[in-house]
Chains A and B, each alone.
Chain A
Amino acid sequence: MTRPSVLLGVAPSFAVLLIFFAAPAAAFDFPPITDAEKNLGEYPGASAVILFEDAEFHFRDFVTEASSRMEVTTRIKILTEEGKSEGEVLILHDRQLRLDRVEGRTVRPDGTVVPLSEGDVFLDRASRTDKAFVTKIVFPQVEVGSILDYHYVFYWDTIFYLEPWLFHGRLPKIRSEIRYHKPDRLGVKFWMRETTSDKIQVDQQKTPEGHEVTGLMTHLPAFPEEPHALPLQDISSRMLLYPDHVNYSGQRIHLMKDWRSVCDSFEDGYHDFRKKDRSAKKLAKRLTAGASGDRETAEILYRHVRDEIRTDEYSGTWIGETDAGDVLEAKQGADSEKALLLQVLLDSAGLEAQPVWTDNRYFDGRAELSVPNPAFFDRTMVAVRLDGERVILDPSDRSLAFGRLQPHFGGTQALAVDEKDPEVIPLPAAEAEESLRRAEVNLEIDADGRAAGGGTLALHGHSAWLRLLADDDAEAAWTERLGEAHPDFEISSVQVKEDVEAARVDVTYSLHQRDAAVLGDEVSVRPAGQLALEQLFPHTPAERVTPVMLLHPRRDEVSWTLTYPEGWEIDVLPTSTAIDGSEGSFRADYLADPEARTITLERVFERTSQDILGKDRYQALRLLYRVASESDARSVTVYRP
């Protein structure tokens, strides 16, 4: 287990972090091993199988308990030599998510039980300041056929930041179960999503303390890590019980009833942050003194927060015990703190702004906004009204132009935070044309048979952002990249112009054939050059298990010209190719002009989708890449007879 199933982060705990290692007084009683578990020798395609993964989730009762608790018990069977790597388990915890106890044992194939000893469990401090730790379990005597049992308990204090239970995982599971225990005074709501044809079996029972709600799935396939895959959260079946309200001293206190109540809960902290702005008003006034309008005012303030305040962490919706003045003074802050600071500055300049919670779909899947759960959001941004339109600003990334978003947020849903009227707003998905990459190359062959010339490459939108993000020497990096794309050519005179505000990168360069590649009477060149595609999807639709997710739609254009000397002739001219399908299109048009002694290629590749769900669409995507990569692999050859 590398990621706890519950994350939280609001209230700092006063409890002391303790890890009881296999506390003898209350040693956990692992369920007996069944004959079926003992006899299981193989599972299709698996090196290990999770026999069961059970969680007991106890909501705090708000009167006698300060903390909620989750107990997780896992049983794994090792099936192959490779599966032995499952014998190391990492558990992350910190001062908010407190690991209380870890116990475990290896049950050898002959039934011998080897409990974890002190020398098998290690505690590493991930940060003294944050009181963050990693507990590492190394199971002893693991061999093929061994069964590994472990059990751990978490405590935490906040009622927010609950993550759903994921039934599926990277290993197949025979059984996965979560049982929520809730006290009577707590009103809860229930949410689940099934991603396969198998159903979550839900059971509810009354108990002396309140209610139990159980979710159970059996015989779950593994979702392997595949290239360009959706996050596990998107493809796993999930379930969540979350607190709607609590009855306390005769009053009903709303918790995660709806987005309004959640925003209301956060508003105190956000208000405090904004209230102590100290120098913010003066700063906004000073910075925008010469601004000619609202848009320019907003741009100036955005750039100031983006560039002058370092983003030191991404904390999602949560803010620490800090305020706008602190962040201004420290010149660094979390994404949420920078966003709230920008809101303060915009407000000070008379512009209407509000925080927006956004969802990075690459991080932990798409947010499910039918559940008012702030844990679904990953970053706080700001919405500002300009000329009646809402513009979303992300000041956490120095590579982002005003009003642009990272591709991870395209097509997702966000929440405009407002304690009275929160609003779900769709963030626009990018179009292929916005992320254009255009390459132009002109080559000429001299009398000695050496090809040389110049090239340009222009990147726009997300294609440019990916490059702007890189923390390196741009000219050296491009020299290397272009050299890899043109292995027969020496690359020189590389000039790079990077413009964050225009979301554009322009590269110009010269290239000439290396001595080793000059044959004197024959030249072969692959025109697609640096935009040549490889088959990114070698798996057949039958082999591919999970859907495809791509960073953003994209359009690539290549315009290529080769001029050859008098007396030379064209030997091989690749055939022109075209395909137009549901996932995009590709067209490569070769044209020869013997009179002008030129060959040209006009090539356009366009990939229009971001998520490719379903076998048919995957097949269309695969075909698009196959046609394009096969065309790009071809060479033009000219020669001197």
Chain B
Amino acid sequence: MRALRAVNRRLRTAVRTTLRNAAWTVLLVALLPAADAGAATVLRWTTEIDVAADGSFVERVDFALRLDDAEDVDRWSRFPVALDEHRRLEELKAWVEEPGGERRKVRRKEQDLVETATGPAIHSSQSFHLVEPEYLRPGETLAIRYAVKEKPYFPGGLVGLTFAGETIESLDIRVRVPAAFDGWRWHVDGRTTGLEIVETGDGSHQGVRVRGRLAGGETPPELAAGSALAPVLRFAWGPYETWEDVGRWYARLLDDVPSAAGPVRDLADQLLADVAPEDPRAVLDAFVAFVRQRVRYVAVEVGIGGYRPSPPSEVLDRRWGDCKDKSLLLIDLLRLRGIDARPALVRLAHSRRIDPKFPTPYGFNHLVVAIPADALGTAEGLPLSAGHVFVDPTQSLGGAAYLHGAVRGQDALVILEDERIGRLVPTPPLAAAYENGIELDLGVHELGHAIGTLSWRLEGDPAAALLAMAENTTTNELRGQLRGALGRLIPGTRLRDLRWETEELPVPRFDLRAAVEIRSFLQQGSRGASLRLPELAFMPAPGNVETLETWTLANRLQEVVDGVPPTATGTADDRAAGSGQPVGRVEAGRLESRLVLSLPPGICPPRAKQRRVENDFGLFALEITPLPNAGGGFEVHRVSELRRSWIRPADLDDLRELALAEHRAGRRRVRLRCP
């Protein structure tokens, strides 16, 4: 359902991530032009990453980009090199190669430095050295050679093997670490068409080399996600080879953060003044409400502060903080009351997830709280997975019972600080956990116009998005927005008397009611009267599923390309299934609709009809039932349900079957023929 997806998208943009996810190691990401936009050609792109004995590395990049037309010149006249507190520019040379072979140096005055936070942070230590050559003309080649020295916070890194969607004629990425280093591992995820990937090494070093040609300009299919979007080379070395080890690394960072200071204790007492201390659920609700509503979200990321939270007492004092700050404050509060609570690193994203086979903190961008279910007595009604209840203090609406969709269906690294290890567990799935339903009760009069009422009940993410909109805009503005959304959902609809109810509930809920009129809903044709049911499309379009399937095959997305020792890999099933990474994503959930239609005299209801398709991925059911007591009425009951978000290649047949069933059901007119 497009309107539902639209509000979901709004929510996703509203939920903010605040754990730095190695943006500085993904080359040239933040300020590059949008992907798939141009015709420029990367003639060469070489990156050499040499790791020194002290664990720092120098990244030498040499690339040449031919600008084929005036638009390329506009797009590439500003080239960024990402820097940070621990990532320093050692040298940079840039020049322009003219078609005749002449070279022009890019002068100092043609370079700039901007310090700007990317993503949700209001301030960070990130900066960009910009190369902005004058004199650029189509046909010329922009060449840049630079070296950046990085002291990584975690022993490893990653290189995104894409260049804003441009064709790369010659790609050569080499990573070398000293042979004496234990735990060397690497992994290439995603589209590997055109790439040759080999392990390298001699007596002095070990490493990996990726080279080849990457075609540009291809837009990933609409449903593409995860590994289908762009190839990534991940590498790491050192003692943190498993997820348990990565958890140990993060636990060490937390050691430096003082916890449970006096003000936090005072606050806990104050918040629980009217709460029964023996009721852990009530304690949880009180603390969650405080951290979500009384500590506002503001992210400041300076250096290691991109990973390490601020002390809870500081957060309490200023009453603002990012996801790490809010999570640690909640953890402190819960622990003070004897409730075990653990930090959990997670990837907050719609179309990306971490690679569970490659232990590294760089895939995560968010911190939430995981509470062992037994610490709460009962976890009934709470978002539970792998023995943990997951709570995101960054989201602003709902109680502990509501976990928004952007962290569902992901992998979380729960940090067991006492044991000083991490445990990778799945977060609760994004399934049909919440109710979404539309009811239309319409009467058709002689002219064919349908008049009646509409009620729309939304729970969970879409409801939260609408509630946020209701808080943020005027009633009139929201009324207009709702009219627009419903107009797109049921084209040709006129809505009046829009009313909605909002109340503070553990799970956000939005109940909308409206008077509705659909002009020319029933039409008299040569075959008698007929009508077309509102589409209420929830499944992806069948063509999009087919395109994803073609893309998956063409880009070798199922191949395993890695150098990960067996102990560090995922399960045997992961290997058998390919890279273990999904290739697409849909909005899991359920839409149930009920249309009750009374007909004018002389018009008969349609024959009873049932259609039901159900498989592992979901369900589509349509039932048309004449209503005996109405004389001329019928009811249409429809259910569309997608049970999983991530699409693996093996799911594509099931998804196509569901999409086709829903698509066809909406295409044929319903005939109203008297016997």
List A residues at the B interface (Cβ < 8 Å).
45, 47, 80-82, 84-85, 87-88, 119-120, 122, 124-130, 134, 136, 138, 140-143, 224, 226, 307-308, 310, 312, 329-332, 398, 471-473, 476, 480, 483, 487-488, 490, 514, 516-517, 519, 522, 524, 534-535, 538-539, 542-545, 569-575, 626, 629-630, 633-635, 637, 639, 641
Check if B468 is an interface residue, CB within 8 A of chain A: yes
- Chain B residue numbers with a CB within 8 Å of A517 are 663-664, 667
Specify which chain B residues have a CB less than 8 angstroms from the CB of A87 in the assembled complex. Answer: 296, 298, 320
B38 — nearest CB in chain A belongs to which residue? Answer: A471
Closest 3 pairs (CB-CB, A-B): A543-B476, A538-B483, A539-B480
Q: Which of B300, B320, B527, B663 contacts A639 (CB 8 A)?
A: B527
Contact with A along B21-42 (1 / 0, CB 8 A): 0000000000000001111000
B477 interfacial contact with A, CB 8 Å:
yes
Known A-B contacts A473-B217, A539-B479; the reply to A637 vs B669 at CB < 8 A is yes
| Interface 9-mer from B67-75, B249-257, B407-415, B423-431 | B67-75
Q: In the assembled complex, which residues on chain B have CB atoms less than 8 Å from the CB atom of A128?
A: 112-114
| B491 pairs with A633, CB closer than 8 A | yes
Given A535-B484, A538-B483, A539-B476, check contact A476 B135 (CB 8 Å): no
The answer to whether B527 touches A635, judged by C-beta atoms less than 8 angstroms apart, is: no
Set B39, B471, B492: member contacting A634, Cβ < 8 A: B492
Q: State whether A472 and B37 are in contact (beta carbons under 8 Å apart), knowing that A81-B471, A516-B542 are contacts in the complex.
A: yes
Within 8 A of A (CB), among B69-100: 70-71, 73-75, 77
A524 and B477 contact, Cβ closer than 8 Å, known pairs A330-B134, A471-B38: no
Contact A524 B520 (CB under 8 A): no
Which B residues touch A572, using CB under 8 A? 523, 525, 530, 669
Which of B116-124, B175-183, B574-582 binds A? B116-124
How many A-B residue pairs have C-beta atoms within 8 angstroms? Tell me: 188
Interface 0/1 of B655-675, CB less than 8 Å to A: 000011001100111000000
* Bound-complex Cα distance A446 to B112 (A): 62
B473 contacts the other chain (CB 8 A): yes
CB distance from A639 to the nearest CB of B (A): 7
B122 with A143: CB separation less than 8 A: no
Q: A138-B122, A140-B319, A522-B668 are in contact. Are A224 and B523 (CB under 8 A)?
A: no
Extra contacts, 5 of them, besides A516-B663, A535-B487 (Cβ < 8 A), are A87-B296, A88-B298, A516-B660, A634-B492, A639-B527
Task: Determine if B612 is an interface residue (Cβ-Cβ < 8 Å).
Answer: no
Distance in Å from the Cβ of A425 to the closest Cβ of chain B?
30
Least CB distance, B125 to chain A, in whole angstroms: 10
CA A129 to CA B113, docked complex, whole Å: 7
Distance, CA A604 to CA B13, complexed state (A): 38
Interface contact B520-A634, CB-CB below 8 Å: yes
Task: Give the chain B neighbours of A476 by CB distance below 8 A.
Answer: 36, 217, 219
Contacts of A307 in B (CB 8 A): 70
A398 to B71, CA, bound (A): 9
- The reply to whether B117 and A124 contact each other, CB–CB distance below 8 Å, is yes
Please determine whether B532 and A140 come into contact, CB atoms closer than 8 angstroms. no
The CA-CA distance from A211 to B209 in the complex, in Å, is 74
The chain B residues found within 8 Å of chain A, CB to CB, are 36-39, 70-71, 73-75, 77, 109, 111-117, 122-123, 127, 134-137, 217, 219, 293-294, 296, 298, 300, 317-320, 396, 468, 471-477, 479-481, 483-484, 487-488, 491-492, 494, 519-520, 523, 525-527, 530, 532, 541-543, 659-660, 663-664, 667-669
**When chains A and B are docked, how far (Å) is the Cα of A572 from the Cα of B71?**
48
Q: How far does the Cβ of B322 sit from chain A's closest Cβ, in whole Å?
A: 11
Choose from B116, B317, B659 the contact partner of A124 (Cβ within 8 Å): B116
Cross-chain contact A524 with B320 (CB below 8 angstroms): no
> What are 30 A-to-B residue pairs whose CB atoms are below 8 Å?
A47-B471, A82-B472, A119-B318, A120-B318, A124-B117, A125-B114, A125-B127, A129-B112, A134-B116, A140-B318, A141-B318, A143-B294, A310-B70, A310-B136, A331-B136, A516-B659, A516-B663, A517-B663, A517-B664, A517-B667, A522-B669, A524-B532, A543-B479, A545-B476, A571-B530, A572-B523, A572-B525, A574-B520, A630-B519, A637-B530
- Candidates B39, B293, B527; contact of A641 at CB < 8 Å: B527
Q: How far is the CA of A226 from the CA of B37 in the complex (A)?
A: 30
When the two chains form their complex, are residues B298 and A138 in contact, meaning their CB atoms are under 8 A apart? yes
A146 and chain B: residue at smallest CB distance: B319
Indicate which residue in B298, B473, B491, B492 contacts A224 across the interface (CB closer than 8 Å): B473
Q: Which single residue of chain A is at the shortest CB-CB distance from B476?
A: A543
CB proximity of B385 to chain A, nearest CB, Å:
29
Q: Which residue of B lies closest to A539 (CB)?
A: B480
Q: List chain B residues, Cβ under 8 A from A81.
A: 293, 396, 471
Taken together as a complex, chains A and B put the C-alpha atoms of A543 and B480 apart, in Å, by: 8
* Contacts A473-B217, A538-B480; A129 near B526 (Cβ below 8 A): no
A140 CA to B135 CA, complexed, in Å = 48
Give bound CA distance, A639 to B526, whole Å: 10
Q: Which of B135, B476, B660 has the most CB of A within 10 A?
A: B476
Q: Which of B114, B472, B667 contacts A127 (CB 8 A)?
A: B114
**Complex Cα gap A472–B298 (Å):** 35
- The answer to whether A534 and B542 touch across the interface, beta carbons within 8 angstroms, is no
Judging by beta carbons under 8 Å apart, are A332 and B134 in contact?
yes
**CA gap between A624 and B296 in the complex, in Å:** 44
Chain B nearest Cβ from A250, distance in angstroms: 43
Whether the Cβ atoms of A122 and B122 lie closer than 8 Å is yes
What's the nearest-Cβ distance from chain B to residue A533, in Å? 10
B544 to A: closest C-beta gap in Å = 10
Residues of chain A within 8 A (CB-CB) of B526 are 569-571
Bound Cα distance A398, B293 (Å): 50
The docked-state distance in angstroms from the alpha carbon of A639 to that of B528 is 12
**Docked-complex contact B134 and A471, CB < 8 angstroms:** no
Interface-centre pick from A126, A308, A471, A629 (highest chain B CB count, 10 A): A471
A285 and B670 alpha carbons, distance in the complex (Å):
73
Distance in Å: Cβ of A469 to nearest Cβ of chain B: 10
Q: Which residue of A lies closest to B492 (CB)?
A: A633
B122 touching A516 by the CB < 8 A rule? no
- Residue contact A82 to B468, C-beta cutoff 8 Å: yes
A contact residues around B134 at 8 Å (CB): 330-332
Which residue of chain B has the shortest Cβ distance to A331 in the bound complex? B135
**How far, in angstroms, from A514 to B71 measured CA to CA in the complex?**
35
Q: A122-B300, A471-B37, A543-B479 are in contact. Are A626 and B494 (CB under 8 A)?
A: yes
Please state if B319 and A471 are interface contacts (CB–CB under 8 Å): no
* Shortest CB distance A147–B (Å): 15
**CB-defined contacts of A310 to chain B, threshold 8 Å:** 70, 73-74, 77, 136
A84 neighbours in B (Cβ, 8 Å)? 296
Are B122 and A88 interface neighbours, CB within 8 A? yes
Report B-chain residues with C-beta under 8 Å of the C-beta of A483.
Answer: 543
Contacts of A472 in B (CB 8 A): 36-38
Q: Which residues of A contact B479 (CB under 8 A)?
A: 539, 543
A224 to B469, CA, bound (A): 13
Q: For residue B528, which residue of chain A has the nearest CB? A: A571
Shortest CB–CB separation between residue B316 and chain A, in angstroms?
9
Cβ A534 vs Cβ B487 within 8 A:
yes
Chain A residues with CB below 8 A from B319, complex form? 140-143
A117 to chain B, nearest CB (A): 8
Contact call B543/A516, Cβ cutoff below 8 A: yes
| A471 in contact with B135 given A81-B293, A143-B319 (CB within 8 Å) | no
- Of the listed residues B117, B532, B543, the one surrounded by the most CB atoms of chain A closer than 10 A to its CB is B543
Do residues B317 and A140 form an inter-chain contact, with CB atoms below 8 A?
A: yes
Is the Cβ of A129 less than 8 Å from the Cβ of B109?
yes
* With contact pairs A310-B77, A490-B543, A629-B492 given, residues A142 and B296 touching in the complex (Cβ less than 8 Å): yes
Q: Is the CB of B77 within 8 A of A312?
A: yes
Alpha-carbon gap, A82 to B502, bound state (A): 15
A619 nearest CB across to chain B (Å): 14
Contact A122 B296 (CB under 8 A): no
Q: When chains A and B are docked, how far (Å) is the Cα of A219 from the Cα of B519?
A: 43
Contacts of B525 in A (CB 8 A): 570-573, 637
The answer on a CB contact under 8 Å between A136 and B122 is yes
Known A125-B115, A142-B296: A630·B492 in contact at CB below 8 Å: yes
Closest A residue to B77 by CB, please name it. A310
